[in-house]
Every structure is written in C-alpha cells, then in structure tokens.
C-alpha cells in the first residue's frame, strides 16, 4: 500500500490521525511539525518513507508514503484532504484540543483506501502532459518567428538548455537539502552532474550531440588548465625550496567504501582484550605450534593431487591424509585427538577445485571459502621451487572485526617464527572481500651497473671516457605458486556441524551486496 499514514495538525498539535500499521510515524511527524513554521509544501525522506506536508491557514496536513510512490499521488491526496477537512470543520478546528477530532480518523482511513484503489484519479500526469504539449506548441511558434526574422536557432537552443539545466540543478540542490536536513553527518553529498546528465533531457538527437561535444571540449580544457596550474604551483614551490602542494587522491572503490561500524582502529583496547582470550590466543602466544591436516573430497582427481603437492610445500607443518570415505565429523574428531591445530578440506566439482573448508581445532571456528582462479606453480612463467624453510606471513587489509577474525584464522596455519634464510613469503591480500593468495621468494642478484666516468679520462683527441662499471645488488620477487582467490561464504562457531551448528556470519548476496562500495572484511 503506497499510503501508510495521514494526519491533520494545528501547529505541533495533532488533531486527527490514522496509520495502516504500527510504527513511529507519529513521533517523526511531530518532530517535523515543530520545524514547519512557514506555509507551503515540503517533504522529508526517512528510512525509505516520504513524509509530505501541506501547511495552509494554520493547519498542516500530513501523509506518509513509500519512496517508490513518487510525489504526484501524495500531493493530490493532501489537496483533497485539505478541502474535506475545511468543509467539515472550518473554524471549529482552531479551538479544539489536541486529539479532539479523533473521529476524523475514520474519514482518513476511507480517503487513504480510496487513493490506494484508484490512484489514477489522483494522478495529474494527463494534466501535466497537456501543459507540456501547449508549451511545445508555443515554442514551435516562437521558433518559426525567430527563423522568419533570420536569427540564429542555436543561440535560442543554448539559452533554453542553460535555463533548463539551471532549473534542474536548483531542484536537485533543494532535494539534497531536504533529504539531508536531519542527517547526523550533515547534508547529503551530491557529486556534480556529468556531461551526459546535463544533456540527457534534450530530445533532438543532433542538438544533443552538438551540446554534448561542446560541454566535453569545455570540460577537457578546464581539466587541462587545472592540471597546468597544479604543475606550475609545484614547480614554483620547488624553486623556492618550499614543500610542494599535496597530490590529489584518486577516487577508488576502496577509499570510498561505505562506513562500517565494525572497522577496527590500531591499538583498540577492547579488540585486543577480546583477542587475548579467543580460540587463536594459544597460537599467537606461541604456546601451541601449528600442525595442519589436509584432506579432500571423495575421489579426488589428478589436478587435486598436483595442487596438494604444492600446498604441502607451502605449509611445512602440514600433513596429507586420504579421505577414504570418512564423514567430516569423524575426521574432525580424529584430527583433534591427534593434536592437530587445523583441518583443511579442499573440494572439487567436475575436476575443478572450487572450495575450502577450514576448521580450527579443537574449539573452532569453521570457515567455508569459495576457491577460484587457481593457477598451479608449474603453470607460472619463471616460477621457482619452494624450500622446506618456514615462510614469512603477510596479511593485508583485514580491517573489520570479521576481517581480523578471518585473518587470525589464516595466520594460525603458519609458524610465528619464520626462517628468514629461506626468503619465502606467503601473502593473504584482502581486497573488496576477495582474499588473494600468493607465494613468493626474495631473490637477490648481483648485477653490473654502468656509470659515466668523471674527469678527463679521455684520449688526447678529446674523446669521452668509457663508462665505468661497478656491481650492485638488486632484489626482486620470484613467484613459487600456487595462486588462487578465496571468497568467504560462512563462518560457523565451533567445529564443523552442518545440522545444528551456530553461524557467526553468512554471506547473503541479496541482503548484503547492496552496493559496490560495501565490504565486510
């Protein structure tokens, strides 16, 4: 139902009201009634509901609708509500106490149901279209007159477009102020209109293309001038020995992500206190060494064995056990009884490795990841072979409470005292909730570098001296493999229990992936 709540008020006092279902519409409406000192129409958006107001002759008429209902039906409803209320009560409503016209709530209910059943009666689209046709006819007549006088048509088009653009900008600015009126973070930010948005309302294709090209050229010149200005300022500061102006930060999806209340700041005492007593505390206190059991799904393929061979090289503390038809709950009990700290179960479907179940023993948690983009080390150009040294571990961008928990779970697979002599590094890089796994080795190479000779070391004929050579040590990375990408699907408390297990977090695409800039880890 598009109409949810309606009321009639005198100043801040509600005289009559009706609501389709329970909610805080009454209190929100009262808050805005206190602010409604001037007459006219105005509206506010709160939690996908639009509160529309009509203030006239000391009375304020209110209606609440879904945001998708638009503005036409609410405005028409307010007009009819005003006419009916004035006809019924007139001056009587000016002296009655708050809530004294509660019987009028039945009439509000009838009017709301009628507006819901017959929205076409309240729609003014036909009337607006008629007015638009009249304006078009007048404009066509004026253009004919201009052409008959020999004036330039493009001048008229430019003036008309500019006026329409300024009007649309003013309306958008007004809507931004209204929607952000009660926002705790200040008024809603609206980015400037793009060239396409500035020209999309022009009906004529040729005129629109010409206007688009002009605006594009103008924007390009302005951008070039701003860049030249920044370069001149930087050069001038360098000449004077001053600090150059700060570089502009590029807008990316990462640095414009939606605000998350679970983001963890460095040195958060509450988080550190919780982590000092969680399931991974013994590992990070170096009380318990990691010992990982790796197994697979039933009947693994040859590609799975090739992948497991590289994973065993990556994890020196890991051991492989064949599945042999045992259910996972028995494998969890088996691994826990034999002192394993973690269980990794890789899954494949149609000979494609697509999943990882990671269980921390003996008390959990259990994480299920989707595994994709697998590339074995043997398929990487210029790859190396891993040694048996314990690798370093690098964790990037696990910033939320969920991210820190997943990061600590992945870190518990590796020793806390890496052997730097092996020059191996394993990286889990979280970006947009995708965890990228990479395995590298530092390579130090001694190379010759040529440096131009100084002084007069040339021949008698003035020929330049040959460049001098000296050796330098350069570092680079050699990928060992494998490489793959993980996407967290579920995080379950305790060890694996598909029937009665309690989940800490479940990825629901419809409810969670509502924006490209919303991330959870």
pLDDT at 159 over 80: no
* 324 and 432 inside one domain: yes
Q: What pLDDT, on the 0 to 100 scale, is given for residue 144?
A: 66
Element holding 212 (H helix, E strand): helix 205-239
Element holding 196 (H helix, E strand): helix 195-199
* 23 and 133 inside one domain: no
Indicate whether 351 belongs to any domain.
Answer: yes
Of 94, 123, 152, the domain-final residue: 123
* 380 and 327 inside one domain: yes
* 79 and 146 inside one domain: no
Q: Could you identify the residue written with the tokens 């009666």?
A: 121
* 307 and 431 inside one domain: yes
Q: Could you identify the residue written with the tokens 């969920």?
A: 402
Indicate whether 237 belongs to any domain.
Answer: no
Indicate whether 399 belongs to any domain.
Answer: yes
Residue 356: partners with Cβ closer than 8 Å, 6 or more residues away: 344, 345, 346, 347, 368, 369, 371, 486
Binned at pLDDT 50, 70 and 90, residue 170 comes out as: low
Q: Using CA atoms, how far apart are residues 124 and 435, in angstroms rounded to an integer?
A: 53
Q: What is the pLDDT of residues 371-420, one digit of tens each?
A: 999 999 999 999 999 999 999 999 999 999 999 999 999 999 999 999 99
Q: Using CA atoms, how far apart are residues 64 and 52, in angstroms rounded to an integer?
A: 6
Of 184, 207, 222, the domain-final residue: 184
Residue 275: partners with Cβ closer than 8 Å, 6 or more residues away: 281, 284, 404, 408
| Contacts by 330-338, CB closer than 8 A, 24 or more apart | 331/293, 331/295, 332/359, 332/361, 332/495, 332/496, 335/293, 335/359, 335/361, 336/361, 336/362, 336/495
* 179 and 300 inside one domain: no
CATH number at residue 428: 3.40.50.10480
Indicate whether 216 belongs to any domain.
Answer: no
Q: What pLDDT, on the 0 to 100 scale, is given for residue 185?
A: 45
The predicted model scores a pTM of 0.58
* 95 and 140 inside one domain: no
List b or e across 351-385, with b for residues whose CB sees 16 or more CB atoms inside 10 angstroms: eebebbbbbbbbebbbbbbebeebebbeebeebbe
Indicate whether 301 belongs to any domain.
Answer: yes
* 167 and 105 inside one domain: no
Q: Which two tokens stand for residue 279?
A: 């399931």
* 119 and 174 inside one domain: no
Handedness of CA 34, 35, 40, 41 (dihedral sign): negative
Quick one: which of 292, 277, 278 has its CA closest to 336?
292
Indicate whether 475 belongs to any domain.
Answer: no
CATH number at residue 65: 3.30.450.50
* 429 and 350 inside one domain: yes
Q: Using CA atoms, how far apart are residues 60 and 40, in angstroms rounded to an integer?
A: 9
> How many domains does the structure of the chain reveal?
3
Indicate whether 521 belongs to any domain.
Answer: no
Q: What is the pLDDT of residues 58-81, one digit of tens each?
A: 888 898 888 777 777 888 888 888
- Yes or no: say if 521 and 398 are a contact pair by the CB < 8 Å rule: yes
Cis peptide before 398 (omega within 30 of 0): no
- For 384: left if phi > 0, alpha if psi spans -120 to 50, otherwise beta; the answer is beta
Of 184, 204, 230, the domain-final residue: 184
- Yes or no: say if 486 and 477 are a contact pair by the CB < 8 Å rule: no
* 161 and 83 inside one domain: no
Residue 50: partners with Cβ closer than 8 Å, 6 or more residues away: 43, 44, 64, 65, 66, 67, 69, 71, 74
Q: What is the pLDDT of residues 197-248, one digit of tens each?
A: 888 888 899 999 999 999 999 999 999 999 999 999 999 988 888 888 888 8
pLDDT at 30 over 50: yes
Indicate whether 469 belongs to any domain.
Answer: no
Q: What is the mean pLDDT of residues 280-293?
A: 96
Torsions phi, psi for 308 (to 5 deg): -65, -35
* 71 and 172 inside one domain: no
Domain containing 154 equals 129-184
pLDDT at 188 over 80: no
Output the DSSP codes for 55-81. Answer: EETTEEEEEEEEGGG-SHHHHHHHHHH
């Amino acid at each position: 139902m598009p109409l949810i709540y309606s009321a009639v008020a005198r100043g801040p006092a509600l005289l009559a009201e009706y609501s389709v279902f329970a909610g805080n519409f009454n209190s929100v409406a009262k808050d805005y009634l206190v602010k409604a000192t001037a007459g006219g129409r105005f509206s506010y958006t709160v939690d996908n509901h639009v509160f529309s107001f009509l203030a006239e002759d000391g009375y304020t008429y209110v209606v609440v609708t879904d945001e998708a209902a638009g503005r036409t039906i609410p405005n028409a409803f307010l007009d009819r509500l005003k006419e009916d209320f004035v006809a019924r009560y007139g001056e009587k409503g000016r002296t009655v106490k708050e809530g004294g016209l509660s019987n009028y709530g039945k009439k509000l209910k009838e009017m709301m149901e009628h507006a819901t059943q017959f929205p076409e009666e309240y729609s003014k689209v036909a009337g607006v279209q008629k007015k638009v046709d009249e304006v078009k006819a007048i404009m066509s007549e004026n253009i004919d007159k201009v052409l008959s006088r020999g004036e330039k048509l493009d001048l008229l088009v430019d003036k008309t477009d500019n006026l329409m653009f300024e009007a649309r900008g003013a309306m958008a600015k007004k809507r931004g102020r209204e929607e952000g009126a009660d926002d705790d973070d200040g008024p809603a930010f609206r980015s400037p209109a793009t060239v396409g948005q500035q020209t999309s309302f022009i009906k004529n294709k040729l005129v629109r293309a010409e206007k688009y090209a002009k605006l594009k050229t103008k924007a390009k010149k302005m951008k070039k001038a701003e860049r030249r200005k920044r370069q001149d300022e930087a050069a001038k500061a360098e000449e004077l020995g001053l600090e150059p102006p700060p570089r502009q930060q590029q807008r990316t999806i990462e640095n414009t992500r939606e605000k998350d209340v679970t983001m963890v700041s460095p040195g958060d005492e509450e988080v550190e206190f919780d982590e000092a007593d969680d399931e991974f505390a013994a590992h990070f206190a170096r009380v318990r060494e990691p010992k990982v059991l790796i197994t697979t799904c039933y009947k693994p393929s040859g590609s799975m064995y090739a992948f497991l061979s590289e994973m065993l090289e990556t994890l020196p503390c890991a051991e492989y056990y064949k599945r042999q038809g045992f259910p996972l709950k028995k494998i969890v009990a088996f691994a826990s009884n034999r002192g394993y700290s973690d269980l990794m179960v890789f899954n494949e479907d149609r000979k494609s490795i697509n999943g990882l179940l990671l269980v921390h023993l003996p008390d959990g948690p259990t994480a299920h990841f989707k595994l994709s983009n697998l590339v074995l080390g043997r398929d990487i150009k210029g790859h190396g072979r891993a040694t048996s040294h314990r690798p370093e571990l690098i964790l990037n961008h696990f910033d939320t409470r969920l991210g820190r928990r997943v990061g600590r779970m992945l870190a518990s697979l590796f020793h806390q005292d890496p052997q730097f002599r092996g020059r191996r590094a394993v990286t889990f890089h979280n970006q947009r909730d995708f965890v990228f796994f990479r395995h590298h080795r530092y390579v130090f190479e001694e190379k010759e570098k040529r440096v131009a000779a100084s002084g007069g070391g040339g021949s008698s004929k003035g020929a330049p001296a040959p460049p001098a050579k000296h050796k330098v040590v350069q570092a680079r990375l050699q990928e060992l493999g494998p490489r793959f990408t993980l996407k967290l699907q579920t995080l379950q408390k305790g060890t694996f229990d598909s029937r009665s297990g309690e989940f800490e977090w479940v990825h629901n695409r419809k409810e969670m992936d509502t924006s490209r800039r919303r991330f959870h880890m």
